[in-house]
């Protein structure tokens, strides 16, 4: 009896270690090669794009960071998972490393901007995957999502999610051109003194451009910066295109519009008088990235431009 | 001797007139110059009767309100600086430097975080904050060992401002929702403010003018010392209380309009005293044109240097005011008030 238990146990241990060895995978990350477990079960995401990609791949992390300007993850996430399961381990700009440690993760997915000292600490807790940061570009989020997919062992799922975004954008592009809707568009955030124009090299402006709309920033945005300085009210005509997407970090996109409409310099713009101002949620449009956020943005575009 | 005094007074009238003319000129420049496409010549030809709807809009709807508000804020800050310096008997006392503006901004931030947004509420809230700030400052000034040393008072004020600033930041950390609106506030700017904001502070301006007219004489008597003032039939405690009320109303209103703007309250009475001599009554008259002159000049620069964007006004006054403070402290010729 004892012998058979021992024998089975031993074979079991041998077998699992054999499988683990055979299937431990290596990834190329910003901090060199990182070995990740075969099927991570306790994943912590320290970046909104990583959370989005994980959920798109069918894996609900156990910990995540709050969205910018909020105390929870972005609200669009709750359409896909029960966000109450997620333990908050910090805010977008600052991780609470002790909170991460307490969760005992077996995989950490972090932002491309992660500082090296933080990486060193985190990688002692669990394998930490940090995508290469190659400056800002519209397409960067796709490579990031793929890397997170590889880390999770869910490459196929992420690829599928990305493909469906591309298909949907192409389809929307066609429907918009059939309806003869299009032209130029700006994405801005309204501050009490005026608007900040968002860069054309962001995730959201990239998704917007993929539907065939020509997104502009009037070269107001310095290279490597996400948005311009606050534009003087005297220069509002610079963002008077065919469409103006107005983002706010609050839940209520309407609030940005309300604030803007207190300014007569804003209400006299053509784009305002035509009713072509689209209030959008900055949690999705200016903070998030990933396939699910892209779908949410495409939803917004479809609703606003093809009523 | 009498003749000399009369000549000097005449001279001061001329000076005051010159300053007023300069103020009119700077106001005109403020209407003509901006960050946008409307050039000074376009604006001028519109003002002379040309029909240019773009220029009309920019000049009357954007530049005129902020010019008016710049004038109001400059007067309020200059006068309250002079009053605070007189009552603290300290030439470095300044509402911005001593945390009165920080108190007002803190109160506004608190109200915004608690969910307030009505413009009218903001002014009374800012004035209440300024009042509490003012009382704290003067409490510090009466503290033993601080009251007689201008520099220690400024240090105490800086500590108080920093404390309030930290508390404001802490509040915003817990409530990121309001942080954008408050962050704008904490710097100070005239852009995007509406004329209604100015109308809303009009009552307090009237109240202050009346109060100041009433207390100017006793206040200058107070400069002779508390006993002398009492001997002349004034009530030092009452005068101080009224001055504190005025400073709080003025600084609160200015902060409600433009956010906390520091150093203006320091620099303006400084220049005014150079023209008017130590008497608070004449200093106050000179503060009226000098304050707006400085604010408008700073605001015009703020629009031009980084066009098509604008620099916040508070940054510029701090940039220009800090050297004046350093020079004033280094000169070691601080007149005692």
What does the pLDDT look like over B189-203, one tens digit per residue?
888 777 888 888 889
If interface means Cβ-Cβ distance under 8 Å, which residues of chain B face chain A? 34-38, 57-58, 61-63, 176-177, 179-181, 184-185, 189, 191-192, 194, 303, 306-310, 312
> Does A234 sit within 8 Å of B309, measured CB to CB?
no
Lowest-confidence segment of B27-31, B118-122, B127-131 by average pLDDT: B118-122
Query: Out of A69, A232, A262, whose CB is closest to B308?
Result: A232
DSSP E strand boundaries for chain A: 25-29, 32-36, 43-45, 63-66, 87-91, 94-95, 107-109, 128-129, 184-191, 194-198, 214-215, 227-230, 243-248, 277-281
Interchain CB contact of A212 with B (< 8 Å): no
CB B35 within 8 A of CB B63: no
Per-residue pLDDT at A56: 97
- What is the phi/psi pair of residue B199, to 5°? -60, -35
> Does B192 sit within 8 Å of A263, measured CB to CB?
yes
pLDDT above 50 for A221 = yes
For residue B33, what is the nearest residue in chain A, using CA coordinates? A234
Q: What average pLDDT does range B92-106 have in this prediction?
A: 85
From the CA of A74, how many Å to the nearest CA of chain B? Answer: 13
**From CA B296, how far away is CA B44, in angstroms rounded?**
18
Lowest-confidence segment of A133-137, B119-123, B236-240 by average pLDDT: B119-123
Q: pLDDT: is B332 or B270 the higher one?
A: B270
Which one of A74, A192, A262, A273 makes the best mutation probe of the B interface by having the most chain B beta carbons within 10 Å? A192
**From CA A44, how far away is CA A146, in angstroms rounded?**
17
Helix axes of B264-276 and B280-304: crossing angle, nearest 10 degrees: 130
From the CA of B176, how many Å to the nearest CA of chain A? Answer: 5
What does the pLDDT look like over B254-283, one tens digit per residue?
988 888 888 899 899 988 988 888 889 999
Per-residue pLDDT at B198: 86
For residue B39, what is the nearest residue in chain A, using CA coordinates? A234
> Does A232 sit within 8 Å of B310, measured CB to CB?
yes
From the CA of A58, how many Å to the nearest CA of chain B? Answer: 30
Interchain CB contact of A250 with B (< 8 Å): yes
Q: pLDDT: is B2 or A71 the higher one?
A: A71
**From CA B31, how far away is CA B303, in angstroms rounded?**
12
**From CA A166, how far away is CA B300, in angstroms rounded?**
49
> Does A263 sit within 8 Å of B37, measured CB to CB?
no
Mean pLDDT over each residue of chain A, to the nearest integer: 89
Cα dihedral A20, A26, A27, A33 sign: positive
Per-residue pLDDT at A20: 47
pLDDT above 80 for B287 = yes
**From CA A283, how far away is CA A74, in angstroms rounded?**
6
> How far is C-alpha B39 from the geometric centre of its chain's CA atoms?
30
Query: Out of A68, A232, A265, whose CB is closest to B309?
Result: A232
Which one of B36, B52, B122, B188 makes the best mutation probe of the A interface by having the most chain A beta carbons within 10 Å? B36
Q: What average pLDDT does range A110-115 have in this prediction?
A: 93
Per-residue pLDDT at B25: 97
- What is the phi/psi pair of residue A189, to 5°? -115, 130
CB atoms within 10 A of CB A201: 20
> Does A229 sit within 8 Å of B192, measured CB to CB?
no
Cβ burial of B130 (10 Å; 0-12, 13-18, 19+) is buried
By C-alpha distance, which of B154, B162, B167, B133 is closest to B251?
Answer: B133
Q: What average pLDDT does range A56-72 have in this prediction?
A: 90
Lowest-confidence segment of A10-24, A30-44, A185-199 by average pLDDT: A10-24
Q: Which residues contact B136 (CB under 8 A, 6 or more apart)?
A: B99, B103, B160
Query: Out of B189, B308, B312, whose CB is closest to A231?
Result: B308
Interchain CB contact of A15 with B (< 8 Å): no
pLDDT above 70 for A5 = no
> Does A228 sit within 8 Å of B191, measured CB to CB?
no
**From CA A153, how far away is CA A175, in angstroms rounded?**
35
Whole-structure pTM value = 0.82
> Does A70 sit within 8 Å of B176, measured CB to CB?
yes
Interchain CB contact of A281 with B (< 8 Å): no
Q: Which residues contact A105 (CB under 8 A, 6 or more apart)?
A: A42, A43, A44, A62, A63, A125, A126
pLDDT above 60 for B334 = no
The secondary structure of residue B228, as a DSSP letter, is H
Per-residue pLDDT at A160: 97
For residue B54, what is the nearest residue in chain A, using CA coordinates? A234
From the CA of B310, how many Å to the nearest CA of chain A? Answer: 6
**From CA A72, how far away is CA A102, in angstroms rounded?**
19
**From CA B211, how far away is CA A294, in angstroms rounded?**
61
- What is the phi/psi pair of residue A187, to 5°? -110, 125
Q: What average pLDDT does range A282-296 have in this prediction?
A: 93
> Does A231 sit within 8 Å of B36, measured CB to CB?
no
- What is the phi/psi pair of residue B311, to 5°? -85, 140
What does the pLDDT look like over B6-51, one tens digit per residue?
666 678 889 999 999 999 999 999 999 999 889 999 999 999 988 8
Q: pLDDT: is B3 or B113 the higher one?
A: B113
For residue A249, what is the nearest residue in chain B, using CA coordinates? B177
Per-residue pLDDT at A252: 56
> Does A192 sit within 8 Å of B184, measured CB to CB?
yes
Per-residue pLDDT at B151: 75
Which one of A66, A234, A239, A264 makes the best mutation probe of the B interface by having the most chain B beta carbons within 10 Å? A234
The model's confidence at residue B1, banded by pLDDT at 50, 70 and 90, is very low
From the CA of A269, how many Å to the nearest CA of chain B? Answer: 11
What tokens does A18 get?
């054999």
Q: Which residues contact B177 (CB under 8 A, 6 or more apart)?
A: A69, A70, A249, A250
Lowest-confidence segment of A154-163, A172-181, B28-37, B253-262 by average pLDDT: B253-262
Which one of B308, B312, B314 makes the best mutation probe of the A interface by having the most chain A beta carbons within 10 Å? B308
Q: What average pLDDT does range A253-279 have in this prediction?
A: 85
Q: What average pLDDT does range B287-309 have in this prediction?
A: 92
Cβ burial of A92 (10 Å; 0-12, 13-18, 19+) is middle
Mean pLDDT over each residue of chain B, to the nearest integer: 84
**From CA A285, how far away is CA A294, in angstroms rounded?**
9
Cα dihedral A257, A258, A263, A268 sign: positive
Which one of A68, A232, A263, A267 makes the best mutation probe of the B interface by having the most chain B beta carbons within 10 Å? A232
> Does B62 sit within 8 Å of A265, measured CB to CB?
yes
């Amino acid at each position: 009896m004892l012998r058979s238990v021992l024998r089975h146990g031993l074979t079991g241990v041998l077998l699992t270690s054999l499988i683990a060895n055979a299937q431990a995978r290596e990834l190329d990350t910003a901090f060199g090669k990182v070995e990740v477990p075969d099927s991570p079960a306790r994943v912590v995401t320290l970046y909104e794009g990583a959370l989005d990609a994980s959920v798109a791949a069918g894996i609900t992390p156990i910990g995540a960071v709050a969205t910018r300007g909020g105390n929870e993850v972005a609200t669009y996430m709750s359409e896909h998972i029960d966000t109450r399961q997620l333990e908050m381990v910090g805010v977008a700009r600052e991780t609470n490393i002790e909170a991460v440690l307490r969760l005992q993760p077996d995989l950490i997915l972090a932002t491309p901007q992660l500082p090296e000292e933080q990486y060193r600490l985190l990688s002692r807790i669990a394998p930490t995957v940090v995508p290469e940061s190659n400056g800002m570009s519209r397409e960067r989020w796709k490579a990031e999502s793929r890397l997170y997919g590889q880390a999770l062992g869910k490459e196929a799922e992420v690829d599928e999610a990305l493909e469906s975004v591309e298909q949907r954008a192409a389809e929307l592009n066609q429907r918009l051109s059939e309806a003869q809707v299009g032209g130029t568009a700006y994405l801005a955030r309204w501050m009490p003194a005026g608007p900040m124009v968002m860069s054309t090299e962001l995730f959201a402006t990239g998704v917007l451009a993929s539907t065939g709309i020509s997104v502009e920033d009037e070269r107001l945005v310095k290279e490597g910066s996400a948005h311009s300085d606050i534009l003087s009210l005297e220069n509002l005509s610079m963002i008077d295109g065919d469409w103006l997407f107005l983002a706010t970090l609050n839940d209520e996109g309407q609030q940005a519009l309300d604030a803007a409409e207190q300014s007569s310099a804003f209400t006299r713009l053509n784009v305002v008088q035509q009713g072509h101002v689209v209030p959008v949620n900055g949690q999705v449009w200016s903070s998030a990235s990933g396939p699910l956020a892209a779908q949410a943005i495409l939803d917004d575009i479809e609703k606003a431009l093809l009523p | 001797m009498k003749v000399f005094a009369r000549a000097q007074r005449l001279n001061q009238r001329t000076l005051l007139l010159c300053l007023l003319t300069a103020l009119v000129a700077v106001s005109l420049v403020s209407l003509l110059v901006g960050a946008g496409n409307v050039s000074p010549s376009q604006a001028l030809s519109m003002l002379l009767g040309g029909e240019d709807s773009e220029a009309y809009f920019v000049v009357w709807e954007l530049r005129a309100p902020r010019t008016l508000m710049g004038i109001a804020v400059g007067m309020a800050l200059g006068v309250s600086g002079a009053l605070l310096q007189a009552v603290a008997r300290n030439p470095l006392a300044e509402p911005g430097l001593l945390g009165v503006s920080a108190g007002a901004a803190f109160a506004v931030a608190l109200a915004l975080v608690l969910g307030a947004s009505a413009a009218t509420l903001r002014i009374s809230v800012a004035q209440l904050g300024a009042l509490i700030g003012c009382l704290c400052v003067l409490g510090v000034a009466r503290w033993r060992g601080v009251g007689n040393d201008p520099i220690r008072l400024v240090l105490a004020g800086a500590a108080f401002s920093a404390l309030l600033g930290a508390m404001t930041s802490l509040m915003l950390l817990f409530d990121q929702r309001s942080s954008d609106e408050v962050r704008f506030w904490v710097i100070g700017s005239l852009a995007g403010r509406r004329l209604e904001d100015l109308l809303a502070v009009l009552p307090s301006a009237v109240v202050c003018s009346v109060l100041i007219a009433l207390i100017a004489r006793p206040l200058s008597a107070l400069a002779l010392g508390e006993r002398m003032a009492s001997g002349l039939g004034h009530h030092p405690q009452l005068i101080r209380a009224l001055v504190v009320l005025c400073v709080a109303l003025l600084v609160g209103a200015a902060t409600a309009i433009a956010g906390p703007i520091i150093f203006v309250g320091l620099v303006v009475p400084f220049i005014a005293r150079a023209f008017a001599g130590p008497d608070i009554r004449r200093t106050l008259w000179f503060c009226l044109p000098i304050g707006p002159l400085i604010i408008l000049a700073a605001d015009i620069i703020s629009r031009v240097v980084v066009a098509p964007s604008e620099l916040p006004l508070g940054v510029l006054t701090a940039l220009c005011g800090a050297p004046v403070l350093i020079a004033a402290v280094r000169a070691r010729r601080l007149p005692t008030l």
